[in-house]
Every structure is written in C-alpha cells, then in structure tokens.
Structure 1
C-alpha cells in the first residue's frame, strides 16, 4: 500500500505567494515562494503543489521562472497548475522542472485534452484538480476558472470520468472550506475514495493535526495543506510525527535532502 503523503499547497498570484478564504476572501501575503519551498524541503515533506490562481501570459513567465528556481533549490517532487490549456503548456512546465502538471478548467471544457496529455506525457504526469461547492447538504457541483464559473457536474462523477480519461491522480478541493481551517469535507472524501482507483489528494479546511488524521482515515491518499502550515505553529515534522503515532503509514521525517 502507498504511504500517505503530506503536501503543502502554494497559491501564486502574479508570482506572489498568497492565501485566501473560500478562494476570494481575505487575501493574505504568505512569503517568498522559493524561500518557503526550501523550508518545506528541509522539513522533508513528500511533495509540493503550486497553483497559479489568476493565470495569464505574464503570470506564466513568472511561474516558469519560479519553478526553474525551485527545481535548482529543492529535491522533492512538485505539481504545477493554473491555466493549462495545451500540450505545449504541459511540456513547458515539465521542462521547467515540474514532475506533474495539474489541469482543471480545460479538462472540463475539453475532456479529450486530458486523454491526449496523458497519452503524450504519461498518466503519472497528469493531475486533475476538481474544485466544488455544496449547493445543499447532499448535493455538490463543480466550479471552474478559479471558482468563478459553475458547471453542471457532480464532483464524484467527474472524478470517475477523469480516471477513465487516464489522469494519474485527483486533487479534490472544497471551496466552502478553503482557508477556513474548519476541517475537511469527510463525507466527500468517503465517497470519492470508494469509487476511485487513482490516488486522491484532498484540499480545503485543514486547521489541526486531527483534521489531517480524519481525512486520511476517511480514505484520502494525501492531504494538501496551506493555511495551517503557513499561519500556525503546526509544522510538517510535527504533523508527520503525530500521524505516525496514530499508526498511519507515512514516510519517515528525515529531510528530503537525504
């Protein structure tokens, strides 16, 4: 069985590391992305996710520069996404140093793009990011364009379709819980983990060590964490130690430089 993973998530806006609540509220600056990545590298985190949240031609060049610098400074795998629409976009990010590329809106608009990208670069290189909101306690729907546009897709059904299109893993993010540090959407995690064969990364809501435990025990393969690592004293080392003490199968806490 694959070990459970701890994955810091970076949101970039115009090359700046930022964090919001529910995607749009209360912007907070969160430091230099390359410097912060080096800190997490020394903490020995498993991977890093970097998302350009307001993609444009100008921001793409900044992201590529940041990724090139990260690839020279850190030794952990990282996934990069935001505004990926073409095979050339995927190729550009992989050549800059990304290990995997995350696709969100374009996969919804043009599902065959995901299949083509997986066939060209390999399933293992393609992550599908799925953002969703709950419309009612028992119904959720997918949003694209950074949470700005609603589409009539159930997130679980869409995740299953993406697996059929040969994505290598799914990053499932709750817009309602994003940045709130109120805990993950455990019901959605239960549902998704029961139907998916590819790894499931969950995002949105982690604010305590117990929240991460709850998500992993609910079936997540990995937890993506932003606010808790950036704005509290809960470090990846502390979380990994706590998870191991609870019997969860995580990698040892040695630095990823070793």
Structure 2
C-alpha cells in the first residue's frame, strides 16, 4: 500500500504568500519561504509552489524565492506558474525544483508534456488540471489561474496528458477551493479509475473524514492550503489524525 503524501500548496504573488476562495479574492497571508520552512519542519512530505502572476518582469524574483527555499528544505519541491517551454522548466530545476506543474502551457502546447518528460523524466512532469463544476453538473478544465474555460473535459484531458508522458496529475477543484468543504470525491474517484498515474487532490481540504474519503477515492496525495495558512490545523495534526484513522501515512 502506497503512503499518502501530505503536500502544503503555496500560491505566491509578488513575493507574498496569498490565498483566496475559488482562486479569487486573494489576500496576503505571509511570506512563502517562511511558510515553506515551517511546513517542511512540521513533517510535510512535499511542497507545491505556484506563482499566480507568472509575469516575465517578476520572473527573477520568483526564481530567487524558489532557490532560497530549495536550499533550506529537504523534501521534494514542485514549482508551477508561467512555465511554457523546456527552457523554463530547466531554469526552475536548476533553482532547486524537483518537479514542474504546468496547466496553461500544456493546454496551448500539449507536446510540451512529452518534451519535459523526455528531458527530466516523467516523474518531473506534473500536469496541473484546474477544474470547475458547471451548473449542469458537468466539469470543465480551466487555464490562466482558473479564469479561462478551455472546453476540455477533465478525465479525457487527464488521459491525454498521461499518454503524453505526465508522471502525475495535480487536480484542483476550483469550485471547492478555499471553502473547507472537502475535495470533489465524485470527479476524483471517476478519474482515479481511468488513469494509472498518481493524483494529488487540491481544493477544499477541511474535515479529516473527507480527506480519508479522498484517499479511498484514489488520491495519492492531498494538497492543503487554507487549513494550514490560516492556522486552523498543522501538518503534524493532520497526519496524526489520518494515521489514527488507519491511513498509511509517514509520521
């Protein structure tokens, strides 16, 4: 039985750690480097860093944040935001990232999945899917930090990127993000049944029971943001509760 990973997700804008609801209404909640170190020391299995601005003129500041963080932590670091080429991926790998998470870049250029997987290994290529549940109950993949609908159905797209060489899916539920109301178990379970690469569930982490159900539904990792950033819980507390409930976790 694989160990479930607990993965703090840190969204960054202009050198600040920020958080919103449904990927909107962003507010500053701290500094990314400090938070990353705190979560790593508290037992996080990995970290995810996402640059929500991803603008070229701020790129060097972002690279420096990644580099300084990677020098201080000793767990895998995934970096996303504005990665649109193998050269972009290489820049962040050199700065200390272990994986890159890409959404918009691979929607516009699907072959980028294969190119990065060939260059760095499939384990380094994380396909980021930001998904919105529509009024009719169907789901759609969005890009540009959840602002732009793509017309893509999530499971079909997940199968496509897995076939192109992605080693992992970061599945973000926009409609649950920041609500503490739980991951979308329906979509998670459907996707897990149809693809063979690991899935990290993201968006909505709240009650422990929902986290357990997410693992039972096929999540290999649980990305957590608001619950940690607003100090409603800690990595250690979450892992302890999951372990007590029988989830295979590194404590």
Aligning the two structures, in what range does the TM-score lie when normalised by the shorter sequence? over 0.9
1:1-258 equivalences under 5 Å are: 1-25=1-25, 27-136=26-135, 138-252=137-251
| SS across alignment from 2:9 | strand
TM-score normalised to structure 2 length: 0.97
Q: Distance in 2 between matches of 1:162 and 1:99?
A: 19
Describe the superposition over 1:155-181 as per-residue Cα deviations: whole angstroms up to 9, x where unpaired. 111011110011010000011111111
1:10–1:17 CA contact under 8 A, matched in 2: yes
Taking the aligned partners of 1:57 and 1:108, their CA distance within structure 2 comes to 19
Question: SS state of the match for residue 205, structure 2?
Answer: coil
Maintained 8 Å contact 1:13/1:59 = no
Tell whether the 8 Å contact from 1:80 to 1:100 is kept in structure 2 after alignment: yes
TM-superposition CA deviations, 1:53-110 (whole Å, max 9, x none): 1111122211110111111111111100001001110000000000000111111111
Distance 1:182 1:248 in 2: 20
Q: Alpha carbon RMSD of aligned pairs, Å?
A: 1.1
Aligned residues: 251
Distance across 2 between alignment mates of 1:185 and 1:136: 15
Structure 2: unaligned runs, 5 residues or longer: none
* Structure 1 runs (4+) greater than 4 angstroms displaced: none
Range with bigger deviation, 125-134 or 231-240:
231-240
Give deviations 1:124-150, integer Å, cap 9, x for gaps.
111010001111353111101111111
TM-score by length of 1: 0.95
* Runs of at least 5 residues in structure 1 that lack an aligned partner in the other structure: 253-258
| Alignment match, 1:255 | none
Structure 2 CA distance for aligned equivalents of residues 159 and 13 of structure 1: 27
